[in-house]
């Protein structure tokens, strides 16, 4: 079978005709290899090949709304732990040396109190509330039947260790999962923006990034609200020593997670709608 | 951030009942007075200070076991906390000096305790 070709002019640039008639007047191609189009076919953007499951997208966004503020707090916890190591070393040095003056003692205690105070300042509302709830309440002797549940001094000291282990686990989860979730959320949001048609991209960007910001902020508020609400429901259990405190702390953490998820999701959707509305207003508004 | 924090604190006060204020503690030659309860020095059986983990930071507490299995707990926010520490050193022979147990407590990891009376090694 012989070769064939489509009818039409050969070796001209495509679409660069300068005469609408039958004359083949066209722009000369730029110097280079012969017989290729002057405008190469655009290569598809990498984001066009990415399949984004809406369920996965929602799951990441909802979890990140809740996790972002808790991740922030867990890093402050880690930072406090490191700063506390310095104080511990100073205290050990003084103990080894012995013969501690009152002034040195007062200075170290003051430094320790200031450290705790300063590290709690930048916490999210949830972090502050959770810290407050974990503070043991000073107590007078309980009635005999409640005291039996508490047991001895050993039970009190043991519960302090258990409480620390639980808080450590919670903090570790957020420290590891939080940054990964945030990066994933940012990536997904960017892909959604890049996949939008070029003429809609700015509008989609306004919607998605505003949604992300408002979602995370709402998650912080929701975590606090959830903590306060569930802890308030659990606070009557405080009449049971140890059990009450552990229950209230756990309820605060569970409430924080649920509140962060729920309010964060509402905030994300409201943020998306708000971002879109603001974009439309700004781009269509004209001074009369 | 400060404005937002204050707003949340006010909301928290509305939503959640305030925690009971820390018990006032005072001390003298006759013993310790915690809240409305009196504990004579001769009735003190055991004193343990512990460092409680409060998520970001830690909180210093003191468990007092008195005769009749009465168990009291006071903490660093209790009015008279510092003075009580000085009084324990002064009126309870055989207890650790105030500066020493406080330093041991600061040197301890959150969740650990320091035996003040009778003196034991740190747990």
CA distance B1 to chain A (A): 8
pLDDT in tens, A244-271: 556 788 888 999 999 999 999 999 999 9
Domain that holds residue B34: 22-117
Q: Do B55 and A127 touch (CB under 8 A)?
A: yes
Domain that holds residue A163: 52-72+124-131+151-284
DSSP state of B120: -
Q: Model confidence at A239, in pLDDT bands (50, 70, 90)? A: very low
Asked whether A131 and B56 are in contact (CB, 8 A), the reply is yes
Q: Do A157 and B77 touch (CB under 8 A)?
A: no
* Residue A84, pLDDT above cutoff 50: yes
* Cα(A156)–Cα(A246) distance, integer angstroms: 12
Nearest by CB to residue A139, choosing from B55, B65, B73, is B73
- Dihedrals phi, psi of A54, to nearest 5 degrees: -60, -35
* Residue B123, pLDDT above cutoff 50: no
Residue B79, CB half-sphere, CA atoms under 13 Å: how many? 4
Domain presence at residue A235: yes
Q: Give percent above pLDDT 70 in chain B.
A: 80
pLDDT at residue A43 in the model:
66
Nearest by CB to residue A77, choosing from B56, B73, B111, is B56
Domain presence at residue B57: yes
B-chain residues within 8 Å CB-CB of A77?
A: 55-56
- Dihedrals phi, psi of B118, to nearest 5 degrees: -65, 155
Q: What's B110's domain CATH number?
A: 2.30.29
pLDDT in tens, A95-113: 898 888 888 888 899 999 9
Q: Could you tell me which of B67, B53, B66, B70 has the C-alpha nearest to residue B113?
A: B53
CA distance B22 to chain A (A): 6
Domain presence at residue B6: no
Assign A124 to helix, strand or coil.
Answer: coil
ipTM of the complex: 0.81
Q: Which residue has the tokens 């140890």?
A: A242
Assign A20 to helix, strand or coil.
Answer: coil
- The torsion defined by the Cα of A118, A121, A127 and A132, in degrees rounded to 10, comes to 70
Burial class of residue A48, CB neighbours in 10 A (0-12, 13-18, 19+): exposed
Q: Do B52 and A163 touch (CB under 8 A)?
A: yes
pLDDT in tens, A183-203: 999 999 999 999 899 999 999
CA distance B48 to chain A (A): 8
Domain presence at residue B93: yes
The tally of domains found in chain A comes to: 1
Domain presence at residue B7: no
Assign A116 to helix, strand or coil.
Answer: helix
pLDDT at residue A246 in the model:
60
Instruction: Give whole-number Cα distances, A48 to A209, A278, B71, B92, in Å.
Output: 20, 27, 68, 78
The tally of domains found in chain B comes to: 1
């Amino acid at each position: 079978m012989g070769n064939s070709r489509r009818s039409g002019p050969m070796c001209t640039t495509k679409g660069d005709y300068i005469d609408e008639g039958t004359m083949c007047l066209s722009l000369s191609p730029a110097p280079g290899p012969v017989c290729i189009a002057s405008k190469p076919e655009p290569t598809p953007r990498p984001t066009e090949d990415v399949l984004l499951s809406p369920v996965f997208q929602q799951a990441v966004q909802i979890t990140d709304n809740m996790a972002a503020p808790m991740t922030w707090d867990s890093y402050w916890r880690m930072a406090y732990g490191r700063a506390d190591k310095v104080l511990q070393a100073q205290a050990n040095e003084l103990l080894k040396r012995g013969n501690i003056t009152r002034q040195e003692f007062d200075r170290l205690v003051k430094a320790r109190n200031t450290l705790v105070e300063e590290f709690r300042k930048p916490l999210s509302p949830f972090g502050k509330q959770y810290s407050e709830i974990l503070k043991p309440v000073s107590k007078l002797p309980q009635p005999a039947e409640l005291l039996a549940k508490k047991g001895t001094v050993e039970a009190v000291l043991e519960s302090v260790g258990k409480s620390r282990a639980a808080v450590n686990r919670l903090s570790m989860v957020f420290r590891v999962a939080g940054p990964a979730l945030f990066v994933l959320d940012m990536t997904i949001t960017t892909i959604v923006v890049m996949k939008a048609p070029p003429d809609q991209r700015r509008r989609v960007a306004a919607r998605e990034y505003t949604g992300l910001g408002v979602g995370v902020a709402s998650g912080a508020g929701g975590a606090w609200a959830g903590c306060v609400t569930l802890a308030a429901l659990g606070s009557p259990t405080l009449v049971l020593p140890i059990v009450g405190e552990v229950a209230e702390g756990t309820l605060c953490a569970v409430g924080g997670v649920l509140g962060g998820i729920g309010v964060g999701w509402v905030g994300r959707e409201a943020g998306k709608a708000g971002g879109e509305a603001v974009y439309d207003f700004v781009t269509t508004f004209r001074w009369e | 951030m400060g404005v937002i924090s204050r707003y949340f604190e006010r909301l928290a006060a509305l939503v959640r009942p305030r925690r009971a204020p820390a018990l006032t503690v005072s001390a003298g030659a006759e013993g310790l007075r915690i809240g409305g309860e009196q504990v004579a020095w001769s009735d003190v059986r055991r004193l343990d200070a512990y460092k409680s983990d409060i998520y970001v930071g830690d909180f210093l507490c003191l468990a007092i076991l008195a005769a009749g299995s009465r168990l009291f707990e006071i903490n660093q926010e209790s009015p008279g906390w510092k003075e009580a520490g000085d009084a324990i050193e002064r009126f309870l022979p055989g207890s650790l000096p105030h500066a020493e147990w406080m330093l041991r407590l600061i040197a301890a990891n959150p969740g650990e305790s320091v035996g003040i009376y009778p003196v034991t090694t740190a747990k």
